[in-house]
Amino acid sequence: MSRPLPFELGSATDPVFWLIVGALFVLGIAAVLLEYHRRRHSRRVQIIAEQKLVDEISAEKQLDAGEKKALRRLIDAYFPQTPLAVVKDRSVFDQAVQQEIQAVESKKDERLLRQTGLVLRSVREKLDFQYVPMGQPISSTRELYEGQIVWLGKEEEPLRWYECAVSAVDEAFLHVTVIGEQAGQALPFKLGETLRCRLWREDDARYIFSVRLTSCSGDPVTCTLRHTSDLNRMQAREYYRIHYTQDAELDLLHSREPAEAEVQQEPRIVAKWPAHFVSLSAGGFAVVTQKPLPPNILVKIVVELPGEQPFEAQARTVGGETLHGERHLIRAQFTDITEEKRDLIAHYVSLRQQPNLAQSLEQTTDRRE
């Protein structure tokens, strides 16, 4: 005989049963709605608090009225639920800018596009989002800096490159000016054409990507290019520097005064020091000498790669340290080297790295096993 329940709901035909079920259902719905409104109110309070912080940051960074309006549009149009992230996270800011530029481009108003690009660039700079530390990868051509050397070429002529320097960057366009021996030459580019671009970012990697030409004029010629985030990053830092041994002679060069720099002539040698290579990369080298050298000194050295003709390359010292035995390590970055010579070094370093990478892979596999 089963024990009776402490209470009876009644049968399904009993009105009391349905009354109790209905009451429980209403209570459940009410609880869900109350929780929804609680969370919505909490989120609204958080958004208001974040917007207040954005206003405080805008004032602290001294954004003017136009810049504040542009920043507010980025937040309201693309990240209304997370306004603080737009001024705190570079990647979120980049996403908002990319979408805004695309929206303005769709209006086919070149003047508005240029104006928007300039205003948003000013916002980026005041938020300190324009600087990417050396050694860290970049994700867009918007992160290039003035003076960065880039090489432009036609897609169908991969061996014909034109040396340029970044002359200006805004959020809509990248401006590069032809330098070197080709500065006075007419470029064989057509407006709207897709160009191939390559650059070497010191302490980071080599990048290759495609950009669209918007305008090309001036003397020397300045090319205006559309930005791209489709960057092919090659030969990252951990793979392209190798230990390299070679006796050499380090030539210390006279730093020309601005008036002298206008005259095309080789800087004269003021001293010659015996040196010994200890490392080499396509971006620069490190040597050991008997005397220290401060940063920003122009030097010249001969590189003798196995199987290749020796060649000279100019560089500028970037730092160093004192070693035991009254020796000094000097690090330098190449400043005057052709792309062909740089590619020779990169190819040689890549070949030297392959056995090291294979050995590293074997060691990693052994540890896992």
Which tens digit of pLDDT belongs to each residue from 184-217?
A: 778 888 999 999 999 877 657 789 999 999 999 8
Q: Residue 218's pLDDT is what?
A: 86
Q: Residue 239's pLDDT is what?
A: 44
Which of the listed ranges 26-35, 117-126, 339-348 does the model predict with the highest average pLDDT? 117-126
Task: Label residue 10 by pLDDT band (50, 70, 90).
Answer: low
The predicted model scores a pTM of: 0.59
What is the mean pLDDT of the segment spanning 283-307? 92
Q: Which CATH class is domain 141-234?
A: mainly beta
Distance CA 94, CA 143 (A): 10
Which tens digit of pLDDT belongs to each residue from 233-256?
A: 875 554 467 788 899 999 999 865
Which tens digit of pLDDT belongs to each residue from 165-181?
A: 999 999 999 999 998 77
Q: Residue 261's pLDDT is what?
A: 46
Domain ranges across the chain: 28-130, 141-234, 238-359
CATH architecture, range 238-359 = Beta Barrel (2.40)
